[in-house]
Amino acid sequence: MENSKRVNSIEPSKSISLSAKIAELKKLGEDIIGLNVGEPDFATPAPIIQATIAALKDNETRYSLVQGLDQLREGIAYYLNKKYTLNANKDHILLGNGSKHILYLIFQTLLNDGDEVIIPSPYWVTFPESVKLAGGVPRFVETKKNFQLDLKTIEEAITKKTKAILINTPNNPTGAVYNAEDLQGVVDLAEKYDLKIISDEAYEILTYNKVKHVNISSLSEVAFQRTLTVQSFSKSFCMTGFRIGYLCAEKSFIDDVNKLQGHLSGNNCTFAQYGALEALRLDAGLIRILTKELETRMKLAHELFSEFFPIQKPDGAFYLFPDVSDLIKKLGLKGSEELSLYLLEKAKVAILPGIAFGMENHLRISFAQSREEIIEAHKRIKAIL
Ligand SMILES: Cc1ncc(COP(=O)(O)O)c(C=O)c1O
């Protein structure tokens, strides 16, 4: 018997399948450097671990409020208000099992069959599949050469079926950070055509070169009403395994998502939420140390890998997204997927192909691993090229 059309219509995550393959090779004793990973190698800060252990000891191990603990949602609202001059309260916040889960909830709540969502390309792998799982249709639009938003192509892609424009800043895979002017342009389009804006800001604190992240919902009251902000504790606080993400949106949207969540997973892991609460209280100095180290790794990786192909310096997230078309031609390969396999087999370096993000002739190189690994990966690639 065949499984559902719904599940057959989606693609497996290329980053997850490559990670599984690498884990298998490592188990077999292969020495592989993983520049494919979407998480820094830093340990979760100790106060977060301690708060989680304390919550377990205090028996915070039961069902809790579906939308998330009151004190955590209050804490998140306070954090957002202070950081972005918003006017949110706990009723605007809903916790999920990572921001992947939040995206799933959003599309299930927002879309009817055939509704369209505009997604600037290249894009993070989960966006189109999450739209498709809700019966929606992803409509890809090209970004500019420097990977910034192209408002003209976005407007041209809007049809009667369009329900939302999805943006992701700082961006995975390109590292682009969108400026306030372009983001205001997206708000204007949303207002003109009565659309929602879905803003994935999982990398909000990871910006470099003195560039600042702009939270689109804080641009105006209209922007706040239109925007569904998707956020995560994963990357900012080195908590990928805790599975804590959240949605910030107008109350009526949160209420509908909450209805769905009540039948889907219920509350997020209760004791993990105490860890997240502690993350909000972390010394800002500690976070600055992490982002400074990532900026150092970015400069190192950019300098080293620029020897092989042209690379635009990223302003955020932790990825380089070079154009490798000349290298593909030189090696006589068919595309980025073949290049990625070539690097894995010959140099034992795992890097994701651009095609996984909707853009051929590129690679996505993560610089979230240690400086030593970045240097060694460069050495190995140089040796085979
Ligand atoms: C743009 C973007 N959003 C969301 C996520 C998922 O984060 P979470 O761990 O919160 O599910 C990722 C992870 O790679 C990402 O790149």
Q: Which residue from 76, 31, 17 is spatially nearest to 268, judged by alpha carbons?
A: 76
Tell whether ligand 1 has an atom less than 6 A from the beta carbon of residue 37.
no
Tell whether ligand 1 has an atom less than 6 A from the beta carbon of residue 98.
yes
Does residue 67 have a pLDDT over 90? yes
Distance 181 CA to ligand 1 centre (A): 25
Q: What is the mean pLDDT of the chain?
A: 95
Q: Under 8 Å CB-to-CB from 331, ≥6 apart: which residues?
A: 339, 342
Looking up tokens 């252990």 gives 53
Tell whether ligand 1 has an atom less than 6 A from the beta carbon of residue 234.
yes
* pLDDT band (50, 70, 90) for residue 284: confident
Distance 366 CA to ligand 1 centre (A): 14
Distance 237 CA to ligand 1 centre (A): 13
Domain end marker among 280, 313, 343: 280
User: Do residues 298 and 357 both lie within one domain?
Assistant: yes
User: Do residues 256 and 340 both lie within one domain?
Assistant: no
For residue 307, the model assigns a pLDDT of 96
- Ligand 1 atom with least separation from CA of 100: 11
Q: How many domains does the chain have?
A: 2
Residue 203 domain flag: yes
User: Do residues 160 and 197 both lie within one domain?
Assistant: yes
Domain of 165, CATH number, reads 3.40.640.10
The whole-angstrom separation of Cα 350 and Cα 330 is: 20
For 332, other C-beta atoms within 10 Å of its C-beta total: 7
In this structure, is the dihedral angle defined by the CA atoms of residues 202, 206, 209 and 215, taken in order, positive or negative?
A: positive
Residue 108 domain flag: yes
Residue 230 domain flag: yes
Indicate the range of 17-21, 194-198, 238-242 predicted with least confidence: 17-21
Ligand 1 pocket mutation pick from 119, 232, 319 by most atoms within 8 angstroms of CB? 232
Domain of 19, CATH number, reads 3.90.1150.10
Distance 263 CA to ligand 1 centre (A): 23
Does residue 36 have a pLDDT over 80? yes
The whole-angstrom separation of Cα 225 and Cα 217 is: 8
Q: Using omega within 30 degrees of 0 as the cis cutoff, is the peptide bond preceding 122 cis?
A: yes
Residue 53 domain flag: no
User: Do residues 264 and 304 both lie within one domain?
Assistant: no
User: Do residues 239 and 354 both lie within one domain?
Assistant: no
User: Do residues 248 and 299 both lie within one domain?
Assistant: no
- Ligand 1 atom with least separation from CA of 244: 10
User: Do residues 276 and 327 both lie within one domain?
Assistant: no
Residue 50 domain flag: no
Ligand 1 pocket mutation pick from 44, 103, 172 by most atoms within 8 angstroms of CB? 172
pLDDT, tens only, 314-360: 999 999 999 999 999 999 999 999 999 999 989 999 999 999 999 99
How large is the C-alpha radius of gyration of the chain? 21
For residue 29, the model assigns a pLDDT of 86
Residue 292 domain flag: yes
User: Do residues 218 and 86 both lie within one domain?
Assistant: yes
Domain end marker among 213, 247, 280: 280
Residue 254 domain flag: yes
Query: Nearest C-alpha to atom 14 of ligand 1 is from which residue?
Result: 38
Domain end marker among 255, 280, 305: 280
Tell whether ligand 1 has an atom less than 6 A from the beta carbon of residue 97.
no
Ligand 1 pocket mutation pick from 101, 124, 319 by most atoms within 8 angstroms of CB? 124
List alpha helices for the chain, DSSP H: 5-8, 14-27, 46-57, 70-84, 98-110, 126-133, 151-157, 180-193, 221-226, 251-264, 270-280, 284-305, 325-330, 336-342, 371-384
Q: Using omega within 30 degrees of 0 as the cis cutoff, is the peptide bond preceding 170 cis?
A: yes
Distance 327 CA to ligand 1 centre (A): 29
User: Do residues 238 and 265 both lie within one domain?
Assistant: yes
Tell whether ligand 1 has an atom less than 6 A from the beta carbon of residue 364.
no
- Ligand 1 atom with least separation from CA of 233: 10
Tell whether ligand 1 has an atom less than 6 A from the beta carbon of residue 124.
yes
Q: Which two tokens stand for residue 295?
A: 């900026």
Does residue 21 have a pLDDT over 80? no
User: Do residues 27 and 135 both lie within one domain?
Assistant: no
Q: Which two tokens stand for residue 18?
A: 């490559």
* pLDDT band (50, 70, 90) for residue 16: confident
Range of the domain at 240: 62-280
Residue 55 domain flag: no
Tell whether ligand 1 has an atom less than 6 A from the beta carbon of residue 279.
no
Distance 333 CA to ligand 1 centre (A): 30
